[in-house]
DNA sequence: TAATTGACTTCTG
DNA sequence: ACAGAAGCCAATT
């Protein structure tokens, strides 16, 4: 699986994010792992930042949070984390707000962390447009 | 070319 | 549970 260029990595990230089940969440690091690049968690976030607003099919970027179950705050003055919280709540995911304003999801209940094997199986059963010979 | 940045993760105390 | 530090690596300054 080694990717030779940036675009391929982004495409792989998008494909994986699309497969996150409704009302479930996973982490940047786990997506990097499924993409075969376990040390690129930060770049998964970069890929999502590059994501255009209107995609077809839609890419559920809001289902990607930190490994500790917290929604990454894009810094004060931005509402990205708030929008992510709203999108998750709209799917029925419980998002708790901690004492210091951190937004947290219970990974035990909503976490989606399939092994690479399970992920590939899901990819075959759920999406066959990839031209898998 | 070197330093900084960041939608991260993990370990320590 | 929380804070700090180290490790990480492509993109950006």
pLDDT at A4: 59
Q: What is the pTM of this model?
A: 0.91
Burial of A98 (0-12, 13-18, 19+ CB in 10 A): exposed
- On chain C, which bases lie within 7 A of the protein's CB atoms? 2-3, 7-11
- Write down the pLDDT at residue A66: 98
Collect all residues with Cβ–Cβ distance below 8 Å to A35 and sequence separation of at least 6: A1, A3, A9, A12, A13, A16, A44
Rounded, the Å distance between the CA of A112 and C1' of C5 is 29
Q: What is the pLDDT of residue A87?
A: 96
Question: Nearest Cα to A63, choosing from A20, A16, A95, A115?
Answer: A20
Residues of chain A with pLDDT under 70: 1-4, 127-133
What was the pLDDT predicted at A129?
A: 61
How much is the pLDDT for A57? Answer: 87
């Amino acid at each position: 699986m080694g990717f030779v260029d940036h675009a391929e990595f982004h495409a792989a990230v998008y494909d994986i994010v699309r497969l996150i089940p409704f009302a479930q969440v996973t982490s940047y690091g786990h997506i990097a792992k499924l993409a075969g690049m376990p040390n690129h968690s930060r770049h998964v976030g970069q890929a999502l930042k590059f994501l255009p607003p209107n995609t077809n099919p839609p890419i559920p970027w809001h289902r990607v949070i930190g490994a500790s179950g917290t929604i990454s705050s894009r810094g004060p003055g931005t509402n990205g984390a708030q929008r992510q919280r709203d999108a998750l709540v709209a799917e029925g995911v419980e998002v708790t707000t901690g004492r210091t304003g951190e937004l947290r999801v219970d990974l035990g209940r909503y976490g989606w962390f399939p092994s690479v094997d399970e992920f590939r199986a899901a990819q075959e059963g759920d999406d066959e447009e990839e031209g898998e010979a």
